[in-house]
Amino acid sequence: MISNRELFLQNTAQTSSSPRLLEIVKAEGVYLYGPNGEKYMDLVSGFNVSNIGHRHPQVIQAIQEQLDKYLHVTVYGEFVQAPQVQFATDLLAVLPDSFQSVYLTNSGAEAVEGAMKVAKRYTGRRQIIALNKAYHGSTQGALSLIGNKAYHEAYAPLLPEIDFVDLNDMAGLAQITDKTAAIIIEAVQGEAGVRIPELAYMQALRKRCDETGTLLIFDEIQTGFGRTGKMFAFEHFDIVPDILLLAKGIGGGMPLGAFVAPKEIMDVIKDNPMLGHITTFGGHPVSCAAARASLKVIQEEKLLDSVERKAALFREAVQSDKIKEIRGLGLMMCLQLENFDQVYAVSNYCAQQGLIIDWYLHCETALRIAPPLTISEEEIIAASKIIREAIDKFC
């Protein structure tokens, strides 16, 4: 019989020539399980998705209850669907008052696309500014914002009138003018290898946007829902963006995204022409039921309260002279090594020892550490021991 691994290579599209090829048959809490009894601690949360752990019982219950009612009934934006309405209401309740309208999407990239469209319509301008080293998704609009020129060359032509500035470069803010529709920035640059904006930069950025009438779009697709120790990372910078992008951790493990904005901004897609952004499955009722339960779990289990303590414990427990730098905000962390060979060897060894860690798309010299926020202190210590062992062996 052909194995699932062979069928994976044979029948499903491959995105690289070196996939991890770990087969997973079950996931629960902080752990993933393989077909032959393998058990792995998930230190990357399915790439910043499983903030509340895998298959949280309250999420499973919410999904089951919705399964008994309805699945897809119509395209987004037509019928009144309680899971969508209730989740949007709960989400707005944890956001500043300026956020008044939630557009639910399938994915992060779709939220990015919608936000760019809304920003252009609302301002009547065309230029969008992104950051060097940014990652905002893989559709052509989102890819136009990627700060890695290899993708621009490979997939040209992408969107016109996109310009780039460097993170934390105050002088670059002068590129934002009254011709700029929006600047889009990750609250913490994830795929660049966890690059944290400086407080003064973020505040100057907000001010420059106000001066020029430019919309400030925060991509919190990786940082949202407690990952950095606050519900949303913009709270660290004492500013409020105009448009907020969410996905990944939003759905408690189910596919969902959103862009959130003041009503006045969101309303531009209603007419001239009508249906300015539409989607069939965006805001799927089962995903919204899961998202609502997941948000409740973050609040009821007070998951935000322990993020900083756990991150500090990680930093302490993983310490090694061979780590060049530990960067992080809350439980969005990375360990900077010398080169990709070290990162590759360490992550392979960790996988053999039952620990899933990875690297970042545009920073292959840093190990990605972003465990579920529910990870226990004992698990952090056990994971750190394996990582230290691997670093001692291969660095």
For 324, the token pair is 């060049």
- Verify binding: residue 186, ligand PLP, rule CB under 6 A: yes
Count residues binding ligand PLP (CB under 6 A).
15
- Greatest alpha-carbon pair distance for the chain in Å reads 65
Q: Other CB atoms closer than 10 Å to residue 221's CB: what's the count?
A: 27
- Verify binding: residue 141, ligand PLP, rule CB under 6 A: no
Tell me the closest approach of the beta carbon of residue 184 to ligand PLP, in angstroms. 9
Give 42 or 191: the residue with its C-beta nearer to ligand PLP.
191
- Verify binding: residue 347, ligand PLP, rule CB under 6 A: no
Among 29, 137, 193, 330, contact with ligand PLP (rule: CB under 6 A): 137
Stretch that binds ligand PLP, among 75-83, 105-113, 263-271, 369-377 (CB under 6 A): 105-113
Tell me the closest approach of the beta carbon of residue 232 to ligand PLP, in angstroms. 13
Question: How close are the terminal C-alpha atoms of the chain, in Å?
Answer: 40
d(CA 30, CA 25): 14
- Verify binding: residue 109, ligand PLP, rule CB under 6 A: yes
For 19, the token pair is 């996939």
Tell me the closest approach of the beta carbon of residue 359 to ligand PLP, in angstroms. 13
Closest CA to 111 of 206, 191, 217: 217
- Verify binding: residue 303, ligand PLP, rule CB under 6 A: no
d(CA 121, CA 118): 5
> Cβ-closest residue to ligand PLP?
108
- Verify binding: residue 222, ligand PLP, rule CB under 6 A: yes
**Alpha helices, DSSP H only, in 279-376?**
285-300, 307-318, 340-352
Are 249 and 59 in contact by the 8 Å Cβ rule? The answer is no
Tell me the closest approach of the beta carbon of residue 322 to ligand PLP, in angstroms. 28
Among 45, 51, 81, 107, contact with ligand PLP (rule: CB under 6 A): 107
Tell me the closest approach of the beta carbon of residue 186 to ligand PLP, in angstroms. 5
Are 367 and 359 in contact by the 8 Å Cβ rule? The answer is yes
- Verify binding: residue 253, ligand PLP, rule CB under 6 A: no
Interaxial angle between packed helices 285-300 and 82-93, expressed in degrees from 0 to 180 and rounded to the nearest 10: 30
d(CA 348, CA 393): 12
Tell me the closest approach of the beta carbon of residue 258 to ligand PLP, in angstroms. 11
Among 54, 56, 133, 136, contact with ligand PLP (rule: CB under 6 A): 136
Interaxial angle between packed helices 57-67 and 285-300, expressed in degrees from 0 to 180 and rounded to the nearest 10: 150
- State which H helix or E strand residue 363 sits in: strand 363-369
Stretch that binds ligand PLP, among 121-129, 132-140, 266-274, 335-343 (CB under 6 A): 132-140
Angle 217-299-184 from CA coordinates, rounded to 5°: 10
d(CA 62, CA 102): 21
Among 130, 181, 221, 335, contact with ligand PLP (rule: CB under 6 A): 221
165-184 residues in contact with ligand PLP (CB under 6 A) are none
State the pairing for strand pair 127-131/162-165.
parallel
- Verify binding: residue 292, ligand PLP, rule CB under 6 A: no
Tell me the closest approach of the beta carbon of residue 360 to ligand PLP, in angstroms. 10
Give 137 or 197: the residue with its C-beta nearer to ligand PLP.
137
- Verify binding: residue 135, ligand PLP, rule CB under 6 A: yes
For 290, the token pair is 């899961």
d(CA 361, CA 370): 14
Which residues make up the interface to ligand PLP (CB under 6 A)?
107-109, 112, 135-137, 186, 190-191, 219, 221-222, 247, 257
